[in-house]
C-alpha cells in the first residue's frame, strides 16, 4: 500500500483533521522525553489522533493489512524511548481520549480513557476524599495510559505501590484488531492475570483504550519532614534506620548537594544550601499516629547525623517542599545544557556503597552527577550533566552509564524501577536474565503479537523475537550440556 493510499484510508477512519503526515507535523513525534543520542529518534509514516476505541481497532486492522508497525503514545514524557517508532509505521496518539468516564465513590474506582492526565484524576476526586496514588514526577503532564504501559511509580509508591497495584481492569485492542476486557472490579479473579501482564508491557502486547483504576482514601493528616545531613552517606544510613525501625513513610526522597544547588535558587523550597544531602519524608494517616511517627523519624535522623530536622503540616509549606523535589529535573538547566537521567534500583542496604561508586564514576569520567531519587525503595536517579555540543560528551555519558548499571546489577539491583526498558536498556537485559529467561518472555510477546507489529525493537535485545526464540532455546540447552558450536 503506497503512502497516499494509507493516509487516505486513515483519514476515512479518524477524520481528515486527525491524521498528521507532513514532515513538519510529525517532527515532535520522533522523540519522547529521553536524550537524543542516547536513545535514537525515528519518524513514523503517520500519526493518528483517535477519539474512540472503534477507531483504534480499525487503525490496527489497517496497519495489519498494510504490514505496518503500530506504536501507542501518551504524552511523550517517557524516558526510555518507549513511544518512539523505531521501525516507522503508525503512531496512535491518545491525546484526544482524555475523558474521565465514571467515578464510583462506593467502590472507590474510576473508569478513565488513556489520555487522562495523571494529576487531573486526583484533582477531580480529592474534593470527594479520594486520590489516585501513583505520582510520577511528570504527573502534571503524563497520562494514565502511559503510566499503565510503563508501570510508573513515583515518590509515594513506597507506601502505596506502583501503577499495577492500582489497576483493576483494562479495555485493550489486540494486535489483530480484536477488543477484549481484562480484569474486573473486585480484583483477584481466577485464571491468568492478563491485566498484570499488560501493565508494564510498554505497548508491546496491546493498546489500552480504557482503564478501571483503584482510588485511595485521602488520609486524615499529612506531615512532611525535611532532614538535612552533612553528607550523602549519613542520609543513606538514616534511610536504612527508618525502614529497619518498621516505619513505612508515604514517601522517602533524597537530594544531594548538587541537586540542592540547582533547585533552591530556582524554587526557594527551603532546602539548606550548605547541606550535603537532604531527606524529604512524608507521613500520612490518623492524626495521632502521624504526630508520633514524625517524632520517631526525626529522632532516627538525628541519630544518623542530621544537622537539622524541620516539619511542615500546613498544605502550603508541604506543597513548596514537594515542588522543589518534583521540579528538580527542570532545574538542572541551571547547571548544564543537557542531562541524562538514569533509573536503576539497588537494595536499600547498598545505598551508601552505590552512591560512593556513582561519585567515583563522576570523577573517573569527568561528569558532574546529581542524585535525586526514591531512597525508600532504593530507586536511584543519577543525573549526568553534560553538553551534547562538546565533542566526546555523549560517548562519555554512555560509558559512565554502563559502569553504573553494571555495578547496580552486581550488588543485587534491577535495571529499571519505573521508566521501563524501551530501547534505552534493551542491550543490558543479558546482565540480569539468561537466554532461557529472555526466550520465555519473548514467548509471551509472541503469543499476543506473533507478527511483532506492536512497538517493535523495544525491551528485548536483538535476536530474541519471532523465529529466533526457538534457536536461542536450543543454543541455551546445548550450552547447558556443554555442547558448543565450532
Q: With respect to residue 466, please indicate whether it lies within any of the assigned structural domains.
A: yes
Q: With respect to residue 374, please indicate whether it lies within any of the assigned structural domains.
A: no
Q: Which domain holds residue 474?
A: 433-480
pLDDT of amino acid 209: 98
Cβ pair 276, 256 in contact under 8 A: yes
Q: Are residues 207 and 119 in the same domain?
A: yes
E strand or H helix at 149: helix 144-150
pLDDT of amino acid 1: 80
Q: Are residues 30 and 80 in the same domain?
A: yes
Q: With respect to residue 306, please indicate whether it lies within any of the assigned structural domains.
A: yes
Q: Are residues 119 and 69 in the same domain?
A: no
CATH for 254: 3.30.70.2190
Kindly report the pTM of this predicted structure: 0.92
Residue 15 to residue 8: CA distance in whole angstroms: 10
Residue 399 to residue 407: CA distance in whole angstroms: 13
Q: How many C-beta neighbours within 10 Å does residue 147 have?
A: 33
Q: How many C-beta neighbours within 10 Å does residue 323 have?
A: 15
Q: Are residues 209 and 223 in the same domain?
A: no
Q: Are residues 227 and 282 in the same domain?
A: yes
Q: Are residues 237 and 326 in the same domain?
A: yes
Grid coordinates standing for 309?
A: 530536622
The last residue of a domain, from among 170, 195, 217: 217
327-353 exposure pattern, b = at least 16 Cβ within 10 A, e = fewer: bbbebbeeebebbbbbbbbbebbbbbe
- Distance in angstroms between the alpha carbons of the first and the last residue of the chain: 44
Q: With respect to residue 470, please indicate whether it lies within any of the assigned structural domains.
A: yes
Q: With respect to residue 187, please indicate whether it lies within any of the assigned structural domains.
A: yes
CATH for 110: 3.30.465.10
Q: Are residues 107 and 169 in the same domain?
A: yes
The last residue of a domain, from among 217, 245, 272: 217
Q: With respect to residue 375, please indicate whether it lies within any of the assigned structural domains.
A: no
Low-confidence residues in the chain, pLDDT < 50: 467, 481-486
Q: Are residues 236 and 266 in the same domain?
A: yes
What residues pair up with 373 in beta bridges, in sequence order? 254
Q: With respect to residue 267, please indicate whether it lies within any of the assigned structural domains.
A: yes
The last residue of a domain, from among 217, 250, 279: 217
Q: Are residues 224 and 158 in the same domain?
A: no
Q: Are residues 209 and 294 in the same domain?
A: no
Residue 371 to residue 329: CA distance in whole angstroms: 11
Using one digit for the tens of pLDDT, what is the confidence trace for 236-290?
999 999 999 999 999 999 999 999 999 999 999 999 999 999 999 999 999 999 9
pLDDT of amino acid 466: 52
Q: Are residues 260 and 289 in the same domain?
A: yes
Q: Are residues 60 and 11 in the same domain?
A: yes
CATH for 79: 3.30.43.10
Q: Give the chain's count of helices (H) and strands (E).
A: 16, 20
Q: With respect to residue 158, please indicate whether it lies within any of the assigned structural domains.
A: yes
Specify the number of domains making up the chain: 4
Amino acid at each position: 500500500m503506497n503512502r497516499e493510499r494509507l493516509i487516505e484510508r486513515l483519514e476515512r477512519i479518524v477524520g481528515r483533521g486527525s491524521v498528521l503526515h507532513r514532515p513538519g507535523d510529525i517532527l515532535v513525534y520522533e522523540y519522547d522525553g529521553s536524550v537524543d543520542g542516547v536513545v535514537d529518534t525515528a519518524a513514523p509514516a503517520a500519526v493518528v489522533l483517535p477519539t474512540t476505541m472503534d477507531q483504534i481497532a480499525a487503525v490496527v486492522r489497517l496497519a495489519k493489512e498494510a504490514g505496518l508497525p503500530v506504536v501507542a503514545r501518551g504524552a511523550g514524557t517517557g524516558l526510555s524511548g518507549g513511544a518512539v517508532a523505531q521501525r516507522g509505521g503508525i503512531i496512535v496518539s491518545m491525546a484526544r481520549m482524555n475523558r474521565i468516564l465514571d467515578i464510583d465513590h462506593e467502590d472507590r474506582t474510576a473508569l478513565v480513557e488513556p489520555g487522562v492526565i495523571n494529576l487531573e484524576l486526583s484533582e477531580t476526586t480529592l474534593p470527594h476524599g479520594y486520590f489516585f496514588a501513583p505520582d510520577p514526577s511528570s504527573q502534571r503532564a503524563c497520562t494514565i495510559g502511559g503510566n499503565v504501559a510503563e508501570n510508573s511509580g513515583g515518590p509515594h509508591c513506597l507506601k502505596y505501590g506502583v501503577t499495577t497495584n492500582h489497576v483493576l481492569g483494562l479495555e485493550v485492542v489486540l494486535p489483530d484488531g480484536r477488543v477484549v476486557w481484562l480484569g474486573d472490579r473486585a480484583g483477584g479473579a481466577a485464571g491468568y492475570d492478563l491485566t498484570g501482564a499488560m501493565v508494564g508491557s510498554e505497548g508491546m502486547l496491546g493498546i489500552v483504550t480504557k482503564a478501571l483504576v483503584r482510588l485511595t482514601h485521602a488520609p486524615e493528616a499529612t506531615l512532611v519532614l525535611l532532614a538535612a545531613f552533612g553528607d550523602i552517606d549519613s542520609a543513606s544510613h538514616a534511610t536504612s534506620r527508618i525502614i529497619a525501625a518498621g516505619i513505612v513513610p508515604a514517601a522517602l526522597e533524597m537530594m544531594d548537594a548538587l541537586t540542592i544547588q540547582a533547585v533552591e535558587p530556582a524554587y526557594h523550597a527551603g532546602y539548606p544550601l550548605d547541606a550535603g544531602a537532604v531527606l524529604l519524608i512524608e507521613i500520612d494517616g490518623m492524626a495521632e499516629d502521624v504526630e508520633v511517627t514524625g517524632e520517631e523519624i526525626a529522632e532516627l535522623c538525628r541519630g544518623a547525623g542530621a544537622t537539622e530536622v524541620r516539619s511542615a503540616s500546613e498544605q502550603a509549606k508541604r506543597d513548596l517542599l514537594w515542588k522543589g523535589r518534583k521540579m528538580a529535573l527542570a532545574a538542572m538547566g541551571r547547571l548544564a545544557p543537557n542531562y541524562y537521567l538514569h533509573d536503576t534500583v539497588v537494595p536499600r542496604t547498598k545505598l551508601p556503597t552505590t552512591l560512593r561508586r556513582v561519585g567515583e564514576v563522576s570523577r573517573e569520567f569527568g561528569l558532574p552527577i546529581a542524585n535525586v531519587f526514591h531512597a525508600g525503595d532504593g530507586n536511584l536517579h543519577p543525573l549526568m550533566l553534560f553538553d551534547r555540543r562538546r565533542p566526546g560528551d555523549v560517548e562519555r555519558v554512555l560509558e559512565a552509564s554502563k559502569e553504573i548499571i553494571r555495578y547496580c546489577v552486581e550488588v543485587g539491583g534491577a535495571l529499571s524501577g519505573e521508566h521501563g526498558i524501551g530501547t534505552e536498556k534493551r542491550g543490558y537485559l543479558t546482565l540480569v536474565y539468561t537466554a532461557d529467561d529472555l526466550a520465555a518472555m519473548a514467548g509471551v510477546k509472541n503469543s499476543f503479537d506473533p507478527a511483532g507489529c506492536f512497538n517493535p525493537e523495544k525491551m528485548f535485545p536483538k535476536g530474541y523475537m519471532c523465529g529466533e526464540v526457538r534457536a536461542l532455546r536450543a543454543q541455551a540447552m546445548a550450552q547447558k550440556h556443554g555442547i558448543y558450536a565450532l
